[in-house]
Amino acid sequence: MKSLIVIGIILLGLGSLLFYLNDMAIDLRVVYGALSGVGIGLIIGGLVGYVSKGNAVKEAQLRREFKQLQKEKEELEQQRLETIHKENSSSL
């Protein structure tokens, strides 16, 4: 995602640089606009991708922690049942 932002900034800068270096030539405005538009699109896309990836990573971390807690709960219940079973066996 970061590379998209860098490429977008480069294209935006290139479009702006060419626009101002050629004395704002009319015949190449489409090229300048395309470079700038693609640059802006890549910057915005990179930012959106970076944010959504961060959310997905956090969500996956929460799922892993939840599964770990469920395993620990099952193990504790198993130990409790074994302890209760041993106490009942020894009281007989």
List pLDDT tens digits, range 25-43: 566 677 777 777 777 877 8
Residue 26: DSSP 8-state: S
Residue 27: DSSP 8-state: T
The alpha carbon torsion through 39, 45, 50, 56 (nearest 10 deg) reads -170
Per-residue pLDDT of 53-67, as tens digits, reads 888 889 999 999 999
44: closest CA among 85, 82, 84, 7?
7
pTM summary value: 0.48
Q: How far apart are CA 32 and CA 56, in angstroms?
A: 36
Average pLDDT, the chain: 80
